Structure 1
Amino acid sequence: MQFEESQSQHNDIYAVIDLGSNSFHMLMVKVVAGSVQVIGRVKRKVRLAAGLNDSLVLSKEAMTRGWECLALFAERLQDIPASNIRIVGTATLRLARNVKTFLTEAEQILGHKIEVISGEEEARIIYLGVAHTSNCEANRLVIDIGGASTEVVVGQGFQPLLLSSLNMGCVTYLERYFQNNELSESNFNAAIAAAELEIHKVADEYLAQGWQNAVGASGTVQALQEILVAQGKDEVITLSRLETILQQALACGHMDQLAIHGLAQERKQVFPSGLAILIALFRVLQIKGMTLSGGALREGVLYGMLSQLQHQDVRARTVQSMMVRYFIDQQQANRVADMAAMLAQQLDPQWNLQSFEGLSILRCGALLHELGLLIEYKNHHHHGAYIINHAELPGFTRAQQQLLMALVYNHRADLNKDILARQTMTSVLLAVRLTRILRLAVILSMRRRHEALPAVQVQAQAEGLHLKLPDGWLDHHPLMRAELEQEIAYQQQAGWQLMVH
C-alpha cells in the first residue's frame, strides 16, 4: 500500500537558502519543543564572485555553476509550504549588472522567488542570526567575512546599533591579490593594506560606539578557531595569534603547498585572503579578542520567519527545549537548580563563581543533570554528557558547552578529572568548584520533595568545603548520611576536602 504525505504535515519544517558569493547554502529545520532542530544542511562551493569581471558582468560559467547547485536544492523544497521558504542573494548578485539573467533561470529551477538583499539588510540579518543563537547582554561587535563583502555590526541584545557592508571579501581578494597563488609577503601586505583602507572609512564611528565582546560569523573565523584548537590553544582569536598563523602560511610559499595544522582541506582556497581581511579588521578596529558565533545570515533569515521564537532568552529557550524533548522532571530540575544557587551564593565571596558566566552555566547544568535518564539510570550522567557534547545548543559558546558537559558528566558517582581539565576558555578551578556544588545540590535534593530540603550552610576555606546541617537532621535521614559519607570519599579521592557537620 502506498501512502502520500500531505503538505500540511510539513508545516513545522522551514528552509532557508543563502546564495553567497563563495558558497550556496541550504538550511532545513523542524520546530520541536519550542526550539529548532536542524534536519538538513547542504553546502556547495560555487564561487560566484570569481565570475564577476571588472565591468561587473557575471560570466556564463559562474551562472551555470549556480544553476546546477540550485537544481540539487530544488528537490528538497518540493514538500515544504511556500510560506516556510525564504531565499536570499548577497553581494555578488547585488553587484552583477546581468543579475536578471541569473535570477530568471534560478527562480524557474527553484519554483520560488529570490530576494537580493542590500548590504545594510544583510548586516542586519547577520546580527539577528548571531543574537538568536548566542547569549550576550553587553554590546557586541559582529563581523562576517563573505565572498564579496564583509558585514560589520555593533548591537546590543536583538537591536543592531551600527551597520556597515564593506566592499571586500575572501573570493574577490583571492582573485585580486593572490591570483598567482603565491603566499608571499608582498601579496599578503597588499591585501591587508587594501582592507585597512576600506575599514578606515567607517572605523571612527565604530570605535566611538565601542563594544564589550567581538564575535565572528564567517567561515574564516571558524577555520581559525579550528586551527587554534588543533594547535593546543583555546578558542579566542587575537591579533598575535593571527600574525603567528600568517607566518605559518608564508612558510608554505604557495597555495598548492598550504598545509597549516588544523586547516581543513575545503577551507584552504579562500583562507589566505580571509586571513588578510581579518588581520586588517583587528588592526584598524583595535579588536582585543574574538570568538565564533553560533549563527549568521541563514539563522537570521530563519528566525525572521519564526515569530514565536523571537526576543527570548536564547540560553533559557535552549535549556527549556531540551527539558521537554528529553522528558526531564522539571520540578526536580528546578529544585536542584535552586539548591545549587543557594550553595553558590554562600560560596561566591570566597570562590568568585561569577566569572565566565559560571553561575548561569551551573544553573543550566542543574536543570539538565537528569538528561540521560531517558536512556537508562546506571550511566545516565554519561549519556546526558554525550548528548550535550554533540547537540546544537544555541546560547552557548563551544567552551560553555564543554563546561556544561563536564558538569553533567560529573554530577554523580566517580569523578572524571580529565574532563574537567580539558576546559578551554574557562578556568579548570572554576569547573571543579561548580562540579562540587552541583554534586552536593543533587544529594541534598534526592528526596525529590521541597519540604524535605534541609536548611544548609556551606563555607569554603581555600578549597576545603564545610557543610553544616541542622542538629539531628542526619539522624533522621540515614540514607542521606550514607550518600554524604560516600561523597566525602569521592571528593577525597579526587584530592578535595569535604567535611559535613
Structure 2
Amino acid sequence: MAQDLREADLVKSEHSPSATVPHSDIYAVIDLGSNSFHMLMVKVVGGSVQVIGRVKRKVRLAAGLNDSLVLSHKAMKRGWECLALFAERLQDIPAQNIRIVGTATLRLARNVATFLKEAEAILGQQVQVISGEDEARIIYLGVAHTSNSDSNRLVIDIGGASTEMVIGQGFTPKVLASLNMGCVTYLERYFADQELTEQNFLAAISAAESETQTITTRFRQESWQLAVGASGTVQAVQEILVAQGKDEVITLQKLDDIMQQVIACVHLERLNITGLAQERKQVFPSGLAILIALFRQLDIQGMTLSGGALREGVLYSMLPQLQDTNVRHRTVNSLMIRYFIDRQHAERVAEMALELATQLQNRWDLQKFEGMSMLRSSAMLHELGLLIEYKNHHHHGAYIISHSDLPGFTRAQQQLVMALVHNHRAEIMPEVLARQTMTSVMLAGRLTRILRLAVILSMRRRHEALPQVRLSVHNECLNLSLPAGWLEQHPLMRAELEQEVQYQQQAGWVLTIN
C-alpha cells in the first residue's frame, strides 16, 4: 500500500505544471569572468527587474593562464566545479531566457575549446566568448540601463584580465576600448611576492599607464562630463570611503590616500583597512594600481559607482519591454505599482514641491546633486509605506527605499531620497538628514523643508483645493505667503502649518506663515 502511494505521488509530481513547465518569467545571466564567475537571476515585477538570486565564486581563471596563453587544467577544473553549482539553478529556466558569456581569459586561452566543451556539457547551454569591444559595449549598456544620466559619460570596468573603457551618451556608446590589464594578471605580475611595497605599486601603476597611453589621445578627444566605475575595484574603493566617513565621489587624492593605507599594511596577508571587505582583499592592490593609472592618464576629476555592468547589459538585451530611456522614472514607477501608491496624489505633491523649489532656486542651489529630480522622486514615493500602516508610514517608506535595489540612483542619491521620505511628516529627525554625504547634507535639509510644505498644502487630495502660494527665503529663514483670508477659510490646514512652524523650529530652522 505504501509503495503504491509513493508511486502515485511520483506520477503526480511528474505531471504537475511545476514539474514540467519552466519559469517563463525568470531570466538568468552567467558571466565567466577572469577573476570570478557570476550568476544573476531575475523576475520582471511591476515593470522592473527583481533580483531573485545571485551566486558568485572566486575562480581566478586568469591565474591559470601561462606565458604561452595556455590555461592550466587546475584552473579549468575550478571553473567546471563552479559551473556544476550554477547548473542546478538553470534546470527550471527556459533555454531562451539564459545567456552565458565568457570574457578576457577565455578570449586569450589557446586551449579554450577544451574548457568550453566541458563547460557546455555541464550547463547544457552554449557559452558565447565575446570580443573586448563587444564586452565594452555590453558593459556600457548595463551602466546605461541602471544609472540615470543624459550627459556624455566615461565608463570604466577593471576585470580580472582586461579593462574595458567606453565613452557614450544615453544608450549609445561612442568610443570603445579593451586593454590587456586586469586585477588578477597584475596581481600575478607585480604583487607575486605578496609584498605591499611602494616599489610594487609604482611598477604596476607604470605598466598600467603605459598600456593606457595607447588609447589616451582618442579618449581625451571625446569629452565627457561624468566618469562612472563599474567594477569590484571601484565598489571596494567607494565602500572604503563611506566607511571612513568620506564623500562617495572617488578622486585621485583619495586613491593615493588609500594606497598609502595599503602600503602601511606591508603584506597582503595583513591587509586590513577600514571598509575593505575580506573577499576583495586578494586583488584589491592590483586593481587600485590600475585605477590610479587611469585617473592619471585620463585626468579624471571624480568618479562614482555604477549600478550595473556586463551582466546587466546582457540581461536587458533579453528584456525589450524594459527599454525605457529614463531609468529613474522606470524605478519610481515600479515601486508605485508594487506598493499601490495613489499616483494622482503623488503627482499633485510632486508638482507643488517643484513649484515651491523653483521659487527658491535663485537663492538655494537645488539643482546640485540633481536635487530637483531627488525632490520629485521623494514626492512620488512619500506614501510608499501606507501599504503597511498609517501612523509610521514615513518610517516604513524610508526603510523600503533604504533596502531596495533602485536602478537610476547612486548610493548617495538613494540615501537622500530615503531621508526625505523619512522626514516628510511628523517630527523631523536631524540624525537621518545628517547621514548624507558631505555634498548633500545641506541640500537634504532644504529639500526636506520644501517637501513637508508641499505635503501639507496638498493634504485635501484635490487639485482645485491647492492654494496659490509664494515661498521666499532670507539666508535659511523661510516665509510662506498665502492668499488673504485663506487661512481663516481652512482652519485644519492652518493648524497643520502652525504645527509645522514648531517642527521646523525644533530642528533649528525658522519658518513664518503669512
User: Normalization by structure 2: what TM-score?
Assistant: 0.96
Which of 343, 353, 360 aligns to 1:330? It is 343
CA drift of 1:310 comes to 1.3
Supply the distance in 2 between the matched residues of 1:7 and 1:361 (Cα, whole angstroms).
Answer: 46
Supply the distance in 2 between the matched residues of 1:351 and 1:188 (Cα, whole angstroms).
Answer: 44
Which of 143, 162, 181 aligns to 1:168? It is 181
Which of 121, 138, 144 aligns to 1:108? It is 121
CA drift of 1:9 comes to 6.2
Find the counterpart in structure 2 of residue 138 from structure 1.
151
Find the counterpart in structure 2 of residue 251 from structure 1.
264
Supply the distance in 2 between the matched residues of 1:366 and 1:476 (Cα, whole angstroms).
Answer: 26
Supply the distance in 2 between the matched residues of 1:199 and 1:365 (Cα, whole angstroms).
Answer: 41
Find the counterpart in structure 1 of residue 191 from structure 2.
178
Give CA deviations for 1:167-222 in whole Å, capped at 9, x if unaligned: 00000111111111111122111111111110000001111112111111101111
CA drift of 1:427 comes to 2.7
Find the counterpart in structure 2 of residue 464 from structure 1.
477
The one-letter code matched in structure 1 to 2:121 is Q
Whether the 8 Å contact between 1:399 and 1:426 is mirrored in structure 2 is no
Whether the 8 Å contact between 1:7 and 1:81 is mirrored in structure 2 is no
Supply the distance in 2 between the matched residues of 1:426 and 1:417 (Cα, whole angstroms).
Answer: 16
For the residue of structure 2 that corresponds to 1:10, the secondary structure is: coil
Find the counterpart in structure 1 of residue 4 from structure 2.
none
Deviates more, 1:472-481 or 1:319-328: 472-481
Whether the 8 Å contact between 2:22 and 2:94 is mirrored in structure 1 is no
Find the counterpart in structure 1 of residue 66 from structure 2.
53
Find the counterpart in structure 2 of residue 341 from structure 1.
354
The one-letter code matched in structure 2 to 1:363 is R
The one-letter code matched in structure 2 to 1:461 is H
CA drift of 1:425 comes to 4.9
For the residue of structure 2 that corresponds to 1:424, the secondary structure is: coil
CA drift of 1:281 comes to 0.5
The one-letter code matched in structure 2 to 1:469 is L
Correspondence 1:279 to 2:292: yes
Find the counterpart in structure 1 of residue 388 from structure 2.
375
CA drift of 1:261 comes to 1.5
Correspondence 1:150 to 2:159: no
Supply the distance in 2 between the matched residues of 1:474 and 1:188 (Cα, whole angstroms).
Answer: 68
The equivalences for 1:13-162 within 5 A come to: 13-162=26-175
For the residue of structure 2 that corresponds to 1:350, the secondary structure is: coil
Correspondence 1:498 to 2:511: yes
Find the counterpart in structure 1 of residue 6 from structure 2.
none
Give CA deviations for 1:447-474 in whole Å, capped at 9, x if unaligned: 0111111111111121111111112222
For the residue of structure 1 that corresponds to 2:264, the secondary structure is: helix
Q: Give the alignment's Cα RMSD to 1 decimal.
A: 1.1
Supply the distance in 2 between the matched residues of 1:8 and 1:357 (Cα, whole angstroms).
Answer: 45
Supply the distance in 1 between the matched residues of 2:17 and 2:75 (Cα, whole angstroms).
Answer: 38
Correspondence 1:241 to 2:246: no
Find the counterpart in structure 1 of residue 5 from structure 2.
none
CA drift of 1:6 comes to 5.8
Correspondence 1:420 to 2:433: yes
Whether the 8 Å contact between 1:158 and 1:311 is mirrored in structure 2 is no
Supply the distance in 2 between the matched residues of 1:454 and 1:167 (Cα, whole angstroms).
Answer: 62
The equivalences for 1:403-414 within 5 A come to: 403-414=416-427
For the residue of structure 1 that corresponds to 2:219, the secondary structure is: helix
Whether the 8 Å contact between 1:399 and 1:425 is mirrored in structure 2 is no
List runs of 5+ in structure 2 lacking aligned partners.
1-8
Give CA deviations for 1:21-57 in whole Å, capped at 9, x if unaligned: 0000000000001100000000000000000011111
List runs of 5+ in structure 1 lacking aligned partners.
none
Deviates more, 1:344-353 or 1:359-368: 344-353
CA drift of 1:426 comes to 3.3
The one-letter code matched in structure 2 to 1:38 is V
Correspondence 1:453 to 2:466: yes
Whether the 8 Å contact between 2:22 and 2:93 is mirrored in structure 1 is no
Deviates more, 1:421-430 or 1:441-450: 421-430
CA drift of 1:72 comes to 0.3
Supply the distance in 2 between the matched residues of 1:216 and 1:383 (Cα, whole angstroms).
Answer: 31
The one-letter code matched in structure 2 to 1:279 is I
Which of 379, 391, 409 aligns to 2:404? It is 391
Give CA deviations for 1:79-99 in whole Å, capped at 9, x if unaligned: 111111000000000000110
Find the counterpart in structure 2 of residue 10 from structure 1.
23
Which of 454, 458, 467 aligns to 1:441? It is 454
Whether the 8 Å contact between 2:471 and 2:480 is mirrored in structure 1 is yes
- Percent identical pairs in the alignment equals 74
Whether the 8 Å contact between 1:145 and 1:218 is mirrored in structure 2 is yes
Query: When the two structures are aligned, how many residues end up with a matched partner?
Result: 501
Correspondence 1:205 to 2:218: yes
For the residue of structure 1 that corresponds to 2:363, the secondary structure is: helix
Whether the 8 Å contact between 1:403 and 1:426 is mirrored in structure 2 is no
Whether the 8 Å contact between 2:101 and 2:130 is mirrored in structure 1 is yes
Supply the distance in 1 between the matched residues of 2:443 and 2:295 (Cα, whole angstroms).
Answer: 30
Runs of 4+ in 1 over 6 A off after TM superposition: none
Which of 276, 281, 290 aligns to 1:268? It is 281
The one-letter code matched in structure 2 to 1:411 is H
